[in-house]
Structure 1
């Protein structure tokens, strides 16, 4: 390096034919390009036989600072790392841009870059699609690209071009929660299914929606608890169980001595408008007919599960459908008179008031 006053920086070079480049600016720098790296480590060799070296993987300036700590320890200044490594050379930049660029493999990219490239590809395809519509459809036709699906190394990408409709999304999640409950689809089974079909909503989103529904219903039709400990009757092993799910059995056994009651008035307030809308009930006729029924099921071999429901006899076409029976009383235990007397006490009072 030597001092040289120049009005305008310029480069004397014949790169890449010649690896030597001379840069004239405020100072003169002579560079010899050894090898270009995609991920450079900034290495400086110095000494009479270049036997010493400093290296930095962070920045050229960091390498320059480390060099000057050794060769000029008493000075706090350092040569610019950009000029020291020739990163300002236009001929190098021009040559690099002119070469065909080889992109990294997908598996070598970070998650952020993978998503960024997928979005970039999708955007390009959307533009190409919109530009091609006029060649295949009438301008008055409303042609919309909704989704794009593609795979990279067996990894699936599903890109949606429509604006996120929160109402439709919520309705879809509610429908999925309904299907899971009606068809008794376990959460783990649905997770496996969603892993195979990427367009299905995630299980955690459905679970959250179910919790929101339960919270809403808890406000509309509150659940009141009943203490049945004084009425428990111990029995021997039961016959063949109706329910064998270990989780349900554990929950029912742990709830022994506790019952739950939902107000029949609240239930009727909630369901009557829909029955009027369907034409099953006539607002001009104030009398409705209810059917109270109940049954017990064996949960494992240790305890029964007793459920009491209410249904509208006016809806005779759907009277035997489970969806049209609304649970009012639920408790683990046997169907004995003392327990039923306590469990249905609130139900009897409300029916008398009605």
Structure 2
């Protein structure tokens, strides 16, 4: 293929080959670089020349717009319990870090404040974050006291669930139920009850 031109005096460049010829006219020198510079300044981002000359500008714009949109989190009523627990744990860890960083500014070095728990609510859903190990003996006594109160007050499962919804510090219904079963099993071993069929 033969190239015929008188550039820069003549903007037309011709290519000749046996049986056919091609020509193109240079409208403006360095147009692609000027366009690239103008486009990237307008968007405030860098762009690969490959994409520019591949004429994929619309795709790039869509991608950029997608990236600029903030990631929208699901609302609480649309999340699973696992997601809500993960969020609460992340918030709890972050608050603990900030608490430990700010404590030295407000308290004497010999005084060591301890963050025990945080409580917050989102759309009437209450989240309690507890820090540190709870005293196992006290927790056991608390559950036993609840079982006793439920038995003496003849409070069934559903009313207790309503109480737990109001007061989140009460032991969960499942924990109380397991404790009640364990107490019943222990009592059955200590005081065996024999059932006699008088009709037999």
TM-score range, shorter chain: 0.5 to 0.7
Aligned residue in 2 for 1:156: 126
Q: What's the CA shift for 1:213?
A: 0.8
Aligned to 2:84: 114
SS of 1:225's partner is coil
Q: Matched residues in 1 for 2:195 and 2:179: separation?
A: 25
Alignment-derived partner of residue 227 in structure 1: 197
Secondary structure at 1:224's aligned position in 2? coil
Match of 2:58 in 1: 33
Report whether the alignment pairs 1:139 with 2:109: yes
Preserved contact between residue 118 and residue 130 of structure 2 (Cα < 8 Å): yes
From 42, 45, 48, the counterpart of 1:17:
42
Structure 1 residue 228 displacement after superposition: 3.0
CA displacement at 1:166 relative to structure 2 = 4.3
Three-state SS of the structure 1 residue aligned to 2:133 is coil
Q: Decide which of 105, 117, 128 is 2:98's aligned counterpart.
A: 128
| Aligned-pair CA distance for 1:23 | 4.6
User: Measured at CA, do residues 194 and 102 of structure 1 come closer, stay the same or move farther in structure 2, by a change above 3 Å?
Assistant: same
The answer to whether 1:176 aligns with 2:146 is yes
User: 8 Å contact 2:164–2:172 — kept in the other structure?
Assistant: yes
Using a 3 Å threshold, how does the CA distance of structure 1 residues 186 and 114 change in structure 2: closer, same or farther? closer
Identify if the C-alpha distance between structure 1 residues 169 and 30 changes in structure 2 by more than 3 Å, giving closer, same or farther: farther
For residues 146 and 16 of structure 1, do their structure 2 counterparts lie closer, same or farther at Cα, with a shift above 3 Å needed? Answer: farther
- Deviation sequence 1:140-192 (CA, Å, 0-9, x none): 22421111110112211111112355444333221211121223322222111
CA contact (8 A) 1:173 1:201 kept: yes
Query: Hey, what's the Cα distance between the residues in 1 that align with 2:58 and 2:133?
Result: 51
**TM-score of the two chains, using structure 2 as the length reference:** 0.64
Provide structure 2 residue ranges, at least 5 long, that are not aligned to the other structure: 1-35
Q: Please give the secondary structure, in 2, of the residue aligned with 1:227.
A: coil
| 2: CA distance, partners of 1:154 / 1:199 | 16
Higher helix share: 2
SS at match of 2:128: strand
**Gaps spanning 5+ residues in structure 1: where?**
1-11, 38-91, 231-354
Shift of 1:212: 0.5
- Work out the CA distance in 2 between the residues paired with 1:108 and 1:36: 31
Report the secondary structure of 1:223's partner residue.
Answer: coil
Task: Supply the distance in 1 between the matched residues of 2:153 and 2:105 (Cα, whole angstroms).
Answer: 46
SS, match of residue 124 in structure 1:
helix
Aligned residues: CA RMSD = 3.4
Q: Which has the higher relative contact order, 1 or 2, with Cα contacts under 8 A spaced 6 or more apart?
A: 1
1:214–1:115: structure 2 CA closer, same or farther, 3 Å change rule?
same
